[in-house]
Structure 1
Amino acid sequence: MCTVLKLTRPSFYKWKATQARRASRICADAVLGARIAAVFAEEDGLYGAKRITASLNDDECFARVNHKKVARIMKNMKLRGFSKRRRCVTTQRSTSTPAFEDLVKRRFHAQAPNQVYVGDITYLPCSNGS
């Protein structure tokens, strides 16, 4: 069977040995997924992975859970929290500095090479988070 599937013997035996652990993880993830879905529905789909994690960790009846695991399970369940879209301001022009003169005069075609260089900065992503 290993030659047909082009596997090495040790990898097959490792897969066989970890089969029970994988099954228990899938079961535990399903239980956690049900708890996540309950919190998500309770909060009307507004909470993201970190808030759901905090809500789950507040309940002392269950073991603590990491936000990365909650995010992975939410992604598998196709649950996404609500996030406000922030408007990104790309240009904040100062009134004290003068605008540069248009040396090309909107003529973007040159008669010979290396006479006119034109660049376009259509969009700059926000780096300050606003």
Structure 2
Amino acid sequence: MCSILKISRASYYKWLNKKPMEDKNSLLIKQIQEICEKNNRLFGYRKMTMKINKISEKPVNHKRIYRLMSLLDLQSVYRPRKRYPKNANKQQTAKNVLKRQFETSKPNEVWVTDITEIHIPGLPKLYLSSIVDLYDRSIVSYKLSLRNDSQLVDETLKLALKNNPGHVG
């Protein structure tokens, strides 16, 4: 029969002794359902694949996980996006005292400040608040924080006043 079908005997016996995929899939289905229950159905097929590959000895293809999750009608729950108001209420704005004249004649006469957002992969955003003396462009003080708020600016200013007792104030 193998010679008529042009199949090697080894291939026939391999096919004959092959375990059905349903056994492997049933184990995977149980794992998928357990993970879904633990995580409140927040995992999609990509995260589910990563989680199952950490648990099992043999890696599982993401397409197989996708197919099984579709059969079980398990879809990740999408969280709604946060909506931010486009026109936020503007608070107090300081007067433009410098009028773009950034040259000074003595130290500690004019300080300027800036907040920089720093992105580091794998970590939350950091905010760097710094105060610069316009006389020699030196850093008077700086502070790092996880939040961009008025407390960050206040702490930076307090640190600058503490470190520079000869400031004009």
**Which TM-score band applies after superposition, normalised by the shorter structure?**
0.3 to 0.5
Compare the two structures and name the one with the higher helix fraction.
Answer: 1
> What's the TM-score, normalizing by structure 1?
0.46
- Structure exhibiting the larger radius of gyration computed from Cα positions: 2
Higher relative contact order (CA 8 A, sep 6+): 1
Superposition TM-score, scaled by structure 2 size? 0.36
- Flag the structure with higher strand content: 2
